[in-house]
Structure 1
Amino acid sequence: MKTKIKLSILALFALLATTSCDNYLDLRPQDGIVRDEFWKTKEDVQAAVIGIYTSLLDRNLTNRLFYYGELRGGLVSEGTNANDEIRDILNTNVLPTNSIVDWDIFYRSINYCNTVIELAPNVKNLDPTLSQTQLNNFLSEALAIRAYLYFTLARSFKDVPLKLDASLSDSQNYQLPTSPQSVVFDQVIKDLELAKSYATEDYGNNAYNKGRITVYSVNALLADVYLWTEQYQKAFDATDEIVKSNKFALINAGGSTWFNRVFAVGNSTESIFELQFSLLVQNPLNDLLNVFPQVRATPLIMENVYGIDFDVPSNRDYRGDQAALIGSTGAIYKYTGLNNTESKDRNESNTHWFVYRYADVLLMKAEAAARLVGEGQIDKGQIALDIISELRTNRRALEATERTPGASEVTALIDYIMEERARELAFEGKRWFDLLRVAKANLYERKQLLIDVATENAPPTSIQSIVSKLQDNNSHYFPIHFSELQVNKALVQNPFYK
């Protein structure tokens, strides 16, 4: 890996995925190997940064991104190959022994980021070809990805260990307590603000612009965190910067190539940041959702989410049947389709993981605008309605799913935006986080939203138990896996699971 980097980043993704980076970036490497055998040239830094991206393509991480955002969100149910661990989460019965809640894979990638942040700056003193601008760009990537991973952990587990230094020696202290969610969010914002000041706007290569951290992906992440922390003006401003850049645009969903360009191929004008799977490093979600389907769409999703025109069946929301899912079977299609009529072969599972798309940013802007109405900015309500209208028109949304909230009706606006987010972002690891964010705002003003979703498809014998559990706010987050408690005695279990 110390050779000159001459291949494209996409080829390197594939190369590094099949060769171990653990010899210099493992969680607990042998003493001395990091400094003595690496971190001497610009190419070393670049290889380490690419190693961060490669770590995000690990099937266990991708599957968890899907599980954490979708299993509790009400849009999926068990598939023919579901195991007990998936059923337990679907039924609000999560246990500390459930392997899905093992967060180790996240901390491995976090340590890769920490290592770059800590060791890369000194390389500039050793290699004069590494410019300050290049160094800053590399640091922005490590900072933003670390922020994304911690943001995901804090939304999933609430309080988590916050480790900001690299694990370089066995002599270091690995007994770390959790930090409060608010502290983690503060650090995420701090990292993203610094990453934004360091980030590039354009790598001069479309795949790089969509598959690596840019100013725009940092702004999308910032907007998301600001919504979670109820800083709505900042969220609005961050999304507005993306919109006003004129770098992104919705593709006409009425065309036959829309699905292929946005999902099957990826890196379209609707893309802001996508994890770049390829034919050499394939997306594991095809196996998870299609070949050995562990989950499927809920039975009434076509009727309740996308709507059905029984008089003119060909009149459909382009995001639903033959896009997000196969309406007749409930199979999730977004990661397995080639176009609206053909699926990809199993050996062609190269659909990306969509961290942020332009439609997501537009809907975050609408949500921030709606919240600002509640803070007295009445004019923002029409902005939210205009965004919803633009997206619905582009996606050919059905009249049956149209709502008519007034521009000053905050709750009705938020509900309409949430419905659009379900239609637009189904199965992209967003739904549970959307529900939890809205439910917990204003001191859990709308906790009932979580209860309604969890009980909608639950067996009648489980409903009372689910309602009782979800009354406890701590149940909205996962337990710490038992193995982590065994090796890290500074950890204390989420009180709901004690």
Structure 2
Amino acid sequence: MKRNIKYTLLVLVTIISVLGTSCNKWLDLQPEDGLTRQEYWKTKEQLDAAVMGCYASLLGGSTIPLAKYLFIWGELRGDMVVPGLELATEDDEALLNATMRDEVDMMRTQTSANNIFVNWEAVYKTINLCNTVIKFGPDVMANDKTLSQTTLNAYLAEAHSLRGLMYFYLLRSFGEVPLKLEPTYNDTQVAAIAKKSQQEVYQQIVTDLTFAAENGQVTYGNMAEDRGRFTKFTAYTALADVYLWNEEYQKAIDACDKVIASGKYQLLPAGTPQFDFYTNVYYNGNSVENIFEFQFDNQKLNPFAPMFGFGGTEFKAADWIAEGRLYGTDAIDFLNVDVRGNGTSMSEASALIVKYMNGRSSVTSYAHWFVYRYSDVLLMKAEALTWVSPGNAANGQEAIDLVGRIRTSRHALNNVDGKAIEIPDPANTENLSLYIFEERAREFSFEGKRWYDILRNAKRNNYANEKLLLDIVSASAQPSKQQTVINKYKDHRSHYFPIYSYELQTNKGLVQNPFYQ
């Protein structure tokens, strides 16, 4: 995977742009030999380099790395993360720099259009690289007769996959967004572009990922490369996530079954020591449990050292997690632990988030960012089984068995916060759904999934479970602000971010999202 960890970026005159911005917002990237775009799309090797450029963009971003955006978008509006600094008084808050102030405002549901973390620039940069491959990749066949249609489609599948994934993040975070499917590769193309409806964006995501599932590679020949690039089964995993979000449960089940039947992924066996679990899944990465990861390495460090590292920590685990109320503790046998908990996800002693920084320093901070793991497939299928035919006991039992496989592998404790973790009645849809939701919290803590899990479960069946979201956000709010937060989140339009103010200024085709007008 070394070639792809570096993700050699040789994309010719690929203009990385943010929608509707002035020309100073795009960047002209040329190979060292100075070829023009028309000269560049000649060989399959150049096409391969362009696809690697799409992956390379995942490791960077803009002013803020993409991985940091994805953590913030998926975690800060939930209940598992708090500021790294204690903010007991106004004097404490005065110590915050502008970036940390924006982070705290997001945690406190005070996100405005000026908050730097609602800037979608990093995501659209990746989308534009994918658009460029999709548009110009087919030209290579006319020049390189060794490039077959099957191989071309496989390359295009990777670009479609990444584009679909990026739009899925935008859909869940902003709701309606501009849907740009053509590349911007010179300044004459910069133009105003309006938002599309959530349904239109959703349909494009499905189209992209379906093409990828049908045309993607089964394998690139080794496990590391299969975890760093989109395969056919990575695409099916993302499709399952998308279908689950849209309440298309049978389609989600079918997509999960494709991944499960591939036999390419598995859980580590029950009894795996915690150190081995952490080392395989998180420290080394690219394990049998993992499906897709951003491939940081010693040549391209991740942004996690200042976020979670010792000294300058921006985020910590919420008190309720550090106090043992997520994974549980055994007061009699301290060796009886959930291998995902203390020492793997966070430190109970310090509340530090250690998942990405255990055994690392600022100069060795190249833990991967984990987009999908096999346990996600099992829990997505369990959730879909629960809702595809509510009250169906057979489906419910299958869902319970899937959760049980994960709990057994993780040595999950049966008593948490003084309460027994009871297996629900398989015909009780609501209780079973909550059981899966709570297991997802344990399995994916600090992996950028919590807010999306909360919102997906709350909005199901036209916000039938709105109370789940309101209870979580109010419990996380400052005591004096709880009712204000509840009133805000009762307006469902507030569940999506505002459009960044700079985008509104430079793209006259955009209209601010309704809640923030």
Contact map agreement 1:160 1:180 (CA 8 A) in 2? yes
1:348 alignment partner, one of 364, 367, 387: 364
Contact map agreement 1:25 1:111 (CA 8 A) in 2? yes
Contact map agreement 2:6 2:299 (CA 8 A) in 1? no
What displacement does 1:327 show?
A: 1.1
Could you say which residue in structure 2 is the equivalent of 1:372? 388
Question: Is residue 317 of structure 2 the alignment partner of residue 297 of structure 1?
Answer: yes
1:38 alignment partner, one of 11, 31, 40: 40
Could you say which residue in structure 1 is the equivalent of 2:441? 422
Structure 2 counterparts to residues 228-307 of structure 1, below 5 A: 228-252=245-269, 254-255=272-273, 256-291=275-310, 292-302=312-322, 303-307=324-328
Question: Secondary structure in 1 aligned to 2:177?
Answer: coil
Contact map agreement 2:14 2:132 (CA 8 A) in 1? no
2:145 alignment partner, one of 128, 133, 146: 128
What displacement does 1:171 show?
A: 2.1
| Structure 1 residues 29 and 390: CA distance shift in structure 2, 3 A | closer
Could you say which residue in structure 2 is the equivalent of 1:323? 344
Could you say which residue in structure 2 is the equivalent of 1:441? 460
Could you say which residue in structure 2 is the equivalent of 1:383? 398
Could you say which residue in structure 1 is the equivalent of 2:14? 24
Higher deviation after alignment, 441-450 or 343-352: 343-352
Could you say which residue in structure 1 is the equivalent of 2:58? 56
Question: Secondary structure in 2 aligned to 1:364?
Answer: helix
Contact map agreement 1:196 1:215 (CA 8 A) in 2? yes
Could you say which residue in structure 2 is the equivalent of 1:47? 49
Contact map agreement 1:267 1:274 (CA 8 A) in 2? yes
- Taking the aligned partners of 2:182 and 2:452, their CA distance within structure 1 comes to 28
Contact map agreement 2:498 2:512 (CA 8 A) in 1? yes
Structure 2 counterparts to residues 127-166 of structure 1, below 5 A: 127-166=144-183
* One-letter identity of the residue aligned with 2:202: F
Structure 2 counterparts to residues 192-203 of structure 1, below 5 A: 192-203=209-220
What displacement does 1:40 show?
A: 1.6
Higher deviation after alignment, 348-357 or 167-176: 167-176
1:108-142 CA-to-partner distances (Å, cap 9, x unmatched) read 11000000000000111011122222211110000
1:9 alignment partner, one of 3, 9, 16: 3
What displacement does 1:8 show?
A: 4.1
1:390-444 CA-to-partner distances (Å, cap 9, x unmatched) read 1111101111142221111111111010111000000111000011001001001
Higher deviation after alignment, 260-269 or 167-176: 167-176
What displacement does 1:10 show?
A: 3.2
1:191-229 CA-to-partner distances (Å, cap 9, x unmatched) read 111111110111112221110010111011000000011
Question: Secondary structure in 2 aligned to 1:44?
Answer: helix
Contact map agreement 1:373 1:381 (CA 8 A) in 2? no
Contact map agreement 1:31 1:168 (CA 8 A) in 2? no
Aligned residues: 482
Could you say which residue in structure 2 is the equivalent of 1:73? 78
- Taking the aligned partners of 1:180 and 1:403, their CA distance within structure 2 comes to 41
Structure 2 counterparts to residues 169-248 of structure 1, below 5 A: 169-248=186-265
2:376 alignment partner, one of 360, 368, 379: 360
- Taking the aligned partners of 2:152 and 2:357, their CA distance within structure 1 comes to 38
What displacement does 1:11 show?
A: 5.0
Contact map agreement 1:161 1:176 (CA 8 A) in 2? yes
Question: Secondary structure in 2 aligned to 1:257?
Answer: helix
Question: Secondary structure in 2 aligned to 1:356?
Answer: strand
What displacement does 1:22 show?
A: 7.9
- Taking the aligned partners of 2:205 and 2:14, their CA distance within structure 1 comes to 25
Question: Secondary structure in 2 aligned to 1:56?
Answer: helix
Contact map agreement 2:184 2:190 (CA 8 A) in 1? no
What displacement does 1:378 show?
A: 3.6
Could you say which residue in structure 2 is the equivalent of 1:116? 133
Could you say which residue in structure 2 is the equivalent of 1:451? 470
Q: Percent identity?
A: 41
- Taking the aligned partners of 2:320 and 2:187, their CA distance within structure 1 comes to 53
Contact map agreement 2:233 2:259 (CA 8 A) in 1? yes
| Structure 1 residues 413 and 487: CA distance shift in structure 2, 3 A | same
Contact map agreement 2:11 2:29 (CA 8 A) in 1? no
Contact map agreement 2:14 2:185 (CA 8 A) in 1? no
Contact map agreement 1:30 1:170 (CA 8 A) in 2? no
Contact map agreement 2:4 2:52 (CA 8 A) in 1? no
* One-letter identity of the residue aligned with 1:264: Y
What displacement does 1:330 show?
A: 0.8
* Uncovered stretches (5+) of structure 2, i.e. residues with no partner: 18-25, 86-95
Question: Secondary structure in 2 aligned to 1:300?
Answer: helix
- Taking the aligned partners of 2:286 and 2:107, their CA distance within structure 1 comes to 32
Could you say which residue in structure 1 is the equivalent of 2:89? none
Question: Is residue 112 of structure 2 the alignment partner of residue 95 of structure 1?
Answer: yes
Could you say which residue in structure 2 is the equivalent of 1:311? 332
| Structure 1 residues 386 and 73: CA distance shift in structure 2, 3 A | same
* One-letter identity of the residue aligned with 2:490: Q
Contact map agreement 1:373 1:410 (CA 8 A) in 2? no
For the aligned residue pairs, the C-alpha RMSD in angstroms reads 1.9
